[in-house]
Amino acid sequence: MTHDTAQSTKPRVVLLGLGAMGTALARTWLAAGYPVTVWNRTAAKAEPLRGLGADVAVTAAEAVAAGRLVVTCLFDDASLEEALDGADLHGRDLVDLTTGTPGQADTRAVWAEKRGARFLSGGMMAIPPMIGVPDAGGYVFYSGPREVFDQHASTLAAPLGVRFAGTRPGAAALYDIALLSAMHGMLAGITHAFALVRGEEMPTKEFAGLLTSWLTAMASATDLMAEQIDSGDYSRGVVSNLAMQVAGNRALAVTAEEQGVDFRLLAPYSELLEERLAQGFAEEDGTGALELLVKGS
């Protein structure tokens, strides 16, 4: 039984998956006045949402039957397949916010099309407290058919910002994971930096503030790197050439040794720059090391 949709001019959102993210998404759509049908494997998690006006489906198939726009926010790609097993997807627009790889999204798009659904893949650049809080800056990458994105963009924008990443189904996952990869490297560097100074005179909190401002200033290097990559000219606009960077980086390894800190988090990047220098690119920027990473280049 669904609540009377005639009272709402907004389209119904069917949401499968009420974990930390799904629950926050459902709350935001409900607060924004959207009719919402929810389903979760563990039924008890849906009860607080019923109290907020959600229609609660007993099965995933019943939920899918309730509306055209079906949003999934599940644990992983395998749980999506399990949850939708037996649901009739004909005429549905399936928007999958479950984290996965680009390849999984490409495969899932074909799977959905064979079942009569149009498919958008999403990559959420947010954590639960950012959902429904526009100033927090959270957003979702979407990829797949542009017309499907355009049709649902205003509904999808209620809980988090929206950003179209491309028509390849896997594009959203690719950009999501590219950003997470950059974060991963940044956290590796931060962990190493804290290890170097632990127990020294400066309060850790004070050093944390220095880290934040230094990393913020250094992050602007991405603009120049993008120009170098697009032009294929890694010597363009160089301010610190590779020879200088490699010489400086050797002090990083020695300092780690002096401080009794394992260099394993940073060693691979230092080695990559050394290799590029040995190839004769002393006057270029460090960006050229990308050529050693991309297989087949």
Ligand X SMILES: NC(=O)c1ccc[n+]([C@@H]2O[C@H](COP(=O)([O-])OP(=O)(O)OC[C@H]3O[C@@H](n4cnc5c(N)ncnc54)[C@H](OP(=O)(O)O)[C@@H]3O)[C@@H](O)[C@H]2O)c1
Q: Which residue, among 192, 205, 211, 212, has the nearest Cα to 257 in the 3D structure? A: 192
Both structure tokens of 1: 């039984």
Residues 33 and 158: their CA atoms lie apart, in Å, by 10
Calculate the dihedral angle through the C-alpha atoms of 70, 73, 75, 77, rounding to the nearest 10 degrees.
50
Minimum CB separation of residue 25 from ligand X in Å reads: 9
Minimum CB separation of residue 68 from ligand X in Å reads: 21
Minimum CB separation of residue 172 from ligand X in Å reads: 12
Both structure tokens of 238: 């160089």
Residues 186 and 90: their CA atoms lie apart, in Å, by 44
Of 30 and 242, which has the nearer Cβ to ligand X? 30
The CA-atom distances, in angstroms, between 216 and each of 151, 169, 186, 191, 213 are: 37, 32, 11, 16, 5
Of 82 and 291, which has the nearer Cβ to ligand X? 82
Alpha carbon 251 to chain centroid, angstroms: 34
Minimum CB separation of residue 108 from ligand X in Å reads: 13
Q: Which residue, among 204, 181, 179, 180, has the nearest Cα to 194 in the 3D structure? A: 204
Long-range contacts (CB closer than 8 Å, 24 or more residues apart) made by 277-281: 277/242, 277/243, 277/246, 281/234, 281/242
Contact residues: ligand X, CB under 6 A: 17-22, 40-42, 45, 73-76, 79, 82-83, 98-99, 124, 127-128
Of 99 and 245, which has the nearer Cβ to ligand X? 99
Minimum CB separation of residue 243 from ligand X in Å reads: 41
Of 47 and 76, which has the nearer Cβ to ligand X? 76
Of 5 and 79, which has the nearer Cβ to ligand X? 79
Minimum CB separation of residue 281 from ligand X in Å reads: 38
Of 41 and 68, which has the nearer Cβ to ligand X? 41
Q: By Cβ distance, which residue is nearest to ligand X?
A: 19
Q: Collapse the DSSP code of 282 into the 3-class scheme (helix H, G, I; strand E, B; otherwise coil) and give the result.
A: coil
Residue with tokens 């609540």: 3
Minimum CB separation of residue 179 from ligand X in Å reads: 11
Minimum CB separation of residue 92 from ligand X in Å reads: 17
Of 159 and 288, which has the nearer Cβ to ligand X? 159
Contacts of 172 (CB under 8 A, 6+ apart): 105, 120, 121, 122, 123, 140, 141, 142, 143, 144, 165, 166
Q: Which residue, among 37, 26, 95, 45, has the nearest Cα to 65 in the 3D structure? A: 37
Of 55 and 284, which has the nearer Cβ to ligand X? 55
Sign of CA dihedral 263, 266, 268, 270: negative
